[in-house]
Amino acid sequence: MKISKLMFMFCCCIFAIISCNKKQNISIDNNLILLISNDVRPSLFMGIPFYCQGEGGKIIRIESRDLRILYNEGAFEMDYLSFLRKVLNQQIKLQSNISVYTFNIDKDVDKEYQSKNLADFMHLYCKSYGTGEYVLKKGFTENQRNSIFYFLFINNYLSVFDDYSGSFNIFSVSKYSRYHAVDK
């Protein structure tokens, strides 16, 4: 009897861990990926960071022009659009020969992300303007900030620094891509 209770508790723990892992269902907005693949100068994405998996458990913060450079320098057996889909949906890890910013996910931010739904996670770290736009609250380290932005990115939110106000603005990918729709 003790073994079956122990087995039941073990199965429940495994189920809870699997169901809490929100990283398994990453699906970056396809229109955003199309926009990036068709981006020309001047870029629609100037100053907007994207996030992808790097080696050794690191996260890479990268801009659209650097994604193109990495693709052109790499030996990828796929077209650029397929490359972007895999990279931005966190399905492949990049080896970077160019200077990009890498970081490890902050453990406290990760814990909050894993234990909260997205709305509560955003409420904890962001101030809402009620229009689908947010501002990051103050007082976070650079690593915490990047970790927050990574989790928001994999949930289809973009961030950009507003040097006029000195704040980080956050907005839905769909809101951005709606204004720059691509027919393809």
For 114-126, the pLDDT digits (tens) are 999 999 999 999 9
What token pair was written down for 84? 């972007």
Give phi and psi for 138, each to the nearest 5. -85, 165
Residues in Cβ contact with 55 at an 8 Å cutoff, skipping those fewer than 6 apart:
93, 94, 95
Burial 134-171 (b: 16+ CB within 10 A, else e): bbbeeebeeebbbbbbbbbbbbbbbbbeeeeeeebbbb
Rounded percentage of the chain residues whose pLDDT exceeds 70: 80
The predicted model scores a pTM of 0.82
Rounded percentage of the chain residues whose pLDDT exceeds 90: 58
Q: What is the pLDDT of residue 81?
A: 96
For 1-38, the pLDDT digits (tens) are 455 443 333 333 333 333 444 445 899 999 999 999 98
Mean pLDDT over 86-114 rounds to: 91
